[in-house]
């Protein structure tokens, strides 16, 4: 009693767990019934079309096996090669930076600004000028809409254009977010989306590459399917990858697209819930949009903690939640502080480092119910 895996799964409140809408299995069944059990088929095409329609711009989408694959192919399509430098937001998940190293290129990390927690335009321009003065113009810029919060898209774009450097937009956490009415995923020369199990919608594992040209999409699909030349035998004049999304996974994606808007609303309700819990507490700040230009999907709701005022550290709060089987997690540890990346160039101050020290992500799933909310609220009420 009480130790069966079912019981544990029932009572654990996760940070962000898969939330099925109901129709996913119908699309998957259709794939079985028609024997489209392959990394291509009607669900892949349908899922791509659903995403293109949702982003509401003239974009072309290639469904891939992961967001990381989309970033990797994105860098290749932007012409990044061994020995090049690529600028990357430091405050992010390692998958934003890893593909730079897959290619033998060098990441150059940039600190965040305090309003959106994303790439600081001032530090970005400092870095570009300094890298150019050292003899190397960066080949691409990877800004991230972290936790679903849009980065300062206008400012980053104008700097990128000034130095003629393309943007690879990491929109893995920001499907449904927008800035000045324009959807995240449409700001970059190329963008990456993720449908990993913890994201706002999931295909159990998957991603997509977004571009503004049909040719780039076609090239992405070509590279993602082993770069096979047009010949009856297997002929290759480029290195290829096996990165296409399966028709089974894409079926899950089509079902998830039917509930995406609902998931966005529910994630934003979770964020409102946290704002209401902490509204009279000046030791805890809920991270929110700086102004009405920004619309976050609030993939994860995050707080920062003034532990002097609260009398509790971030880690003490995390452990209190864990005791009640409630998952929470420190904010992303910046890349320039990671053992594997610490020797690469870094520009900026201590904004992301301070966020890492004081911040916590709270359970944010679209599938959390009132009982879950009450359990979370009770833990915090003990502190106040």
Ligand X SMILES: *Cc1c(COP(=O)(O)O)cnc(C)c1O
Site for ligand X in 281-320 (CB under 6 A): none
**Looking at residue 303, what DSSP letter applies?**
E
> Which one of the spans 91-99, 133-141, 254-262, 342-350 is the region binding ligand X (CB under 6 A)?
91-99
Torsion angle, alpha carbons of 15, 114, 179, 267, to 10: 20
Q: Does 93 bind ligand X (CB under 6 A)?
A: yes
Site for ligand X in 155-174 (CB under 6 A): 170, 172-173
> Which one of the spans 10-18, 61-69, 134-142, 216-224 is the region binding ligand X (CB under 6 A)?
61-69
Counts for the chain of helices (H) and strands (E), in that order = 14, 15
Q: Which is nearer to ligand X, 94 or 358 (CB)?
A: 94
How many chain residues touch ligand X (CB under 6 A)? 14
Please select the residue that binds ligand X; options are 138, 166, 176, 207, rule is CB under 6 A: 207
- The residue number with the shortest CB distance to ligand X is 67
Minimal distance, residue 297 CB to ligand X, in Å: 12
Encode 60-70: b = buried (16+ Cβ within 10 Å), e = exposed: bbbbbbbbbbb
Helices (H), 34-175: 42-55, 67-77, 98-102, 121-133, 153-162
DSSP secondary structure, 138-204, as one string: -SEEE-B-GGGPPP-HHHHHHHHHHTT--BEEE-TT-TT-EETTEETTSSSSEEEEE--TTSSS-SS
The H-or-E segment that residue 210 falls in is strand 207-211
Q: Does 66 bind ligand X (CB under 6 A)?
A: yes
Q: Which is nearer to ligand X, 94 or 281 (CB)?
A: 94
Residues taking part in catalysis: 199
Site for ligand X in 226-265 (CB under 6 A): none
Is 285 within 8 Å of 301 (Cβ atoms)?
no
Q: How many CA atoms lie within 13 A of 79 on its CB side?
A: 7
Q: Which is nearer to ligand X, 172 or 368 (CB)?
A: 172
Q: Does 366 bind ligand X (CB under 6 A)?
A: no
Which of 294, 267, 109 shows the shortest CA–CA distance to 201? 267
Site string for ligand X, 7-46 (x = CB under 6 A): ----------------------------------------
* The two structure tokens encoding residue 50: 């659903």
> Which one of the spans 64-72, 122-130, 347-355, 369-377 is the region binding ligand X (CB under 6 A)?
64-72
Residues engaged in binding ligand X (CB under 6 A): 66-68, 92-93, 95-96, 144, 170, 172-173, 194, 196, 207
């Amino acid at each position: 009693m009480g130790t069966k895996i079912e019981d544990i799964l029932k009572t654990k409140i996760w940070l962000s767990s898969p939330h099925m809408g109901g129709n996913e299995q119908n699309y998957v069944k259709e794939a079985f019934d028609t024997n489209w059990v392959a990394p291509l088929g009607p669900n892949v095409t349908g899922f791509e079309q659903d995403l293109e329609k949702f982003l509401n711009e003239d974009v072309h989408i290639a469904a891939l096996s992961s967001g990381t694959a989309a970033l990797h192919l994105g860098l290749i399509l932007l012409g990044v090669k061994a020995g090049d430098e690529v600028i990357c937001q430091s405050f992010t998940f390692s998958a934003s930076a890893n593909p730079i190293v897959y290619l033998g290129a060098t990441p150059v990390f940039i600190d965040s600004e305090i309003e959106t927690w994303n790439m600081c335009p001032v530090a970005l321009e400092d870095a570009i000028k300094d890298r150019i003065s050292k003899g190397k113009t960066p080949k691409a810029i990877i800004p991230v809409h972290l936790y679903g919060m849009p980065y300062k898209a206008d400012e980053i774009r104008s700097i990128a254009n000034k130095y003629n450097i393309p943007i690879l937009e990491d929109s893995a956490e920001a499907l449904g977010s927008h800035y000045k009415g324009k959807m995240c995923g449409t700001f970059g020369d190329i963008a990456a989306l993720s449908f990993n199990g913890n994201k706002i919608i999931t295909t159990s594992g998957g991603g997509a590459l977004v571009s503004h040209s049909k040719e780039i999409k076609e090239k992405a699909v070509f590279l993602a399917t082993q770069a096979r030349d047009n010949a009856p035998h297997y002929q290759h004049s480029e290195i290829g990858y096996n990165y296409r999304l399966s028709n089974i996974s894409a079926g899950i994606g089509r079902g998830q697209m039917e509930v995406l808007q609902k998931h966005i609303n529910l994630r934003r309700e979770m964020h409102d819930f946290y704002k209401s819990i902490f509204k009279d507490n000046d030791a805890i700040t809920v991270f929110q949009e700086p102004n009405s230009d920004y619309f976050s999907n609030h993939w994860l709701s995050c707080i920062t903690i003034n532990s002097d005022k609260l009398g509790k550290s971030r880690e003490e709060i995390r452990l209190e939640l864990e005791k009640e089987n409630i998952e929470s997690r420190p904010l992303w540890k910046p890349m320039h502080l990671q053992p594997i990346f610490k020797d690469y160039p870094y520009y900026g101050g201590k904004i992301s480092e301070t966020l890492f020290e004081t911040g916590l992500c709270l359970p944010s799933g679209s599938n959390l119910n009132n009982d879950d909310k009450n359990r979370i609220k009770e833990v915090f009420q003990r502190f106040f």
